[in-house]
Amino acid sequence: MSAQVDVILLAGGRGSRMGGRDKATVEVAGRRLIDHCLATIEAIAEPAAMCVVTTRPVELSETILRATEHPAFAGPVAAIAAGVQRLRADRTPSPTTLVLAVDAPHSAQLYPQLAAALVAPAAAGAEVAEQADATHSTDTAGGDVALVRSSDGHRQPLCALWRTASLEQAVAALEECAGAAVSALMKNQRIITVPGDGSERDYDTLAALAEFPPAAAQRHD
């Protein structure tokens, strides 16, 4: 178990692109999507603590923390804020926090690259984009958040490793978390981008789930 990282797994949402189904409990390749996520996280990141954020009833191990965004279905920023609060309750948070989404079940495979880039972006071959007024980086040699940039050029803010202090400050700086875009958390942050390798792919439609790799082809779960 690593004392260096906590995990917030966003597992809620209305599932409108899946016909209203609960994404976390949709079964694919023999088990629930959330089980694929948790297996990959545990194998790769070995987190000190994991918090699953969802408004739906999902059966989980007693060792996994739970949180619910308020109001229900208030969006990813509200869910992240709920996860941050839960991870601080009755414990000292880890120095870094990995933020992932349940419909990208293999994204935790990129944790080693994100961790290396957050500390030493140049050595990791990562790109640093310092936002205007970025004044509170906790490490001048690194950044506040490292996230994946997929092959189409888009940043993936739900495949991101934060310095916990920076994430807490980013959440606290927002006037309203409900309905906010995830990009709002990136304001005034030193952002490091790491090229994706396909592990960050999301499966957020039934058509995409049909392309989910069979168990024999999966690397870590």
> Considering the domain 5-214 in this protein, what is its CATH number?
3.90.550.10
Are 148 and 110 within 8 A, CB to CB?
yes
What's the pTM?
A: 0.88
pLDDT of residue 29: 85
Whole-number Å distance between alpha carbons of 99 and 26? 21
pLDDT of 15 reads 62
Alpha carbon distance 128, 33 (integer Å): 32
50: helix, strand or coil? strand
What is the layout of strands, in order, in the sheet containing 49-53? Answer: 65-67, 49-53, 5-10, 96-101, 155-163, 145-149, 190-195, 127-130
Compute the residue count for the chain: 221
Please, how many CA atoms are within 13 Å of residue 61, restricted to the half-sphere of its CB?
10
Name the phi and psi angles at 205, rounded to 5: -135, 160
Give the pLDDT of residue 209.
83
Instruction: Note the pLDDT of residue 210.
Output: 84
Q: List the end-to-end C-alpha distance of the chain, in Å, as a whole number.
A: 17
Task: Extract the tokens encoding 121.
Answer: 């972006």
All structural domains of the chain with their residue ranges: 5-214
**pLDDT one digit per residue (tens) for the chain, 221 residues:** 556 899 999 997 766 666 667 889 888 888 999 999 999 999 999 999 999 999 988 999 999 999 999 888 899 999 999 999 999 999 999 999 999 999 999 999 999 999 999 987 665 555 666 554 444 444 446 789 999 999 999 999 999 999 999 999 999 999 999 999 999 999 989 999 999 999 999 988 878 888 888 753 455 55
* Confidence at residue 28, expressed as pLDDT on a 0 to 100 scale: 87
The pLDDT assigned to 19 comes to: 63
